[in-house]
Amino acid sequence: MPLATPPSEAEMRSVLSSPRFNTYFEACDGDHLRAGQLYSWNASLSAALLVPAHFAEVSTRNAAANILEATYGPEWPWEEAFAISLPSPAKRYSPRRDLQAVRKQYSTTGKAIAELKLAFWSSLFTSRHDVRLWENRISTAFPHSPYEDEKKLRQEVRNKIEDIRLLRNRIAHHEPVFTRNLRKDLQGMKELIEFRSPETKAWVESLEEVSLLLDRRP
């Protein structure tokens, strides 16, 4: 698909705001047409990134949920021993408060899994939970990982989930992603999916359009 011709610079500044547009304007050495094309490409790419991010997030949280069920039973969101094992800092994101809020609002484990924030799932892949959750178990959750060391695998999952979370936050706030190493972001998502299922990774590779868009950067 050819790049669309953007409107005038004045129109883009009016609609997008000058501070937002300036990021692209400066990246394109003051060429407003190229800046408009970069902006639209960034928007299209942001949307495309959500497809592999979706599969990576869902597959990883389901892997973690399987371990939680094996440890605390099928009603693990309501198991108090699990809740008190979670950190609860007063001024930052609290996995414990997130869980408590979700289990008050929903009555099934499946719904709780879907509603917990990605930060909750990321927080599980810290050394705090090595003995409780991951020792002798994490390789069953990610059977196709190349890592034999359990702590290394857990850290790799944590790093990749955090990369996805931060990228997704930028996308959700319509911030620029073009300055990131997006090929690395995409590769991390695919690797995380592959840890669980090489077949699903191949499926995602047949679906995602990020690779094509990266080759068409204006």
Rounded to an integer, what distance in angstroms lies between the CA atom of residue 13 and that of residue 87?
A: 44
Q: What is the spatial distance between Cα 170 and Cα 178, in angstroms, rounded to a whole number?
A: 11
Please report which confidence band the pLDDT of residue 1 belongs to, taking 50, 70 and 90 as the band edges: low
Question: Are 159 and 22 a contacting pair, CB within 8 Å?
Answer: no
DSSP reduced 3-state for 173: coil
Q: What is the pTM of this model?
A: 0.92
Instruction: Evaluate if residue 2 carries a pLDDT over 70.
Output: no
Q: How confident is the model at residue 5 (pLDDT cuts 50, 70, 90)?
A: confident
> Inter-axis angle of helices 150-172 and 32-72, to 10 degrees?
140
Distance CA 173, CA 182 (A): 17
Determine the Cα–Cα distance for residues 192 and 105; give it in Å rounded to an integer.
30
Query: Residue 23's pLDDT band (boundaries 50, 70, 90)?
Result: very high
Distance CA 50, CA 208 (A): 9
pLDDT class of 214 with cuts at 50, 70, 90: very high
Q: Can you tell me whether residue 34 is helix, strand or coil? A: helix
DSSP assignment string, 193-209: HHHH-HHHHHHHHHH--
Token readout for 101 is 């809020």
- pLDDT tens by residue, 51-108: 999 999 999 999 999 999 999 999 999 999 999 999 999 889 999 999 999 999 999 9
Residue 35 has pLDDT above 60, yes or no: yes
Q: Which of 116, 128, 127 is nearest to 87 (CA)?
A: 128
Rg (CA), the chain: 20
Share of the chain above pLDDT 70, in %: 99
What does the pLDDT read at residue 4? Answer: 75
How far apart CA 3 and CA 150 sit, in angstroms, is 46
Read off the tokens for 131.
């003995």
pLDDT of 164: 97
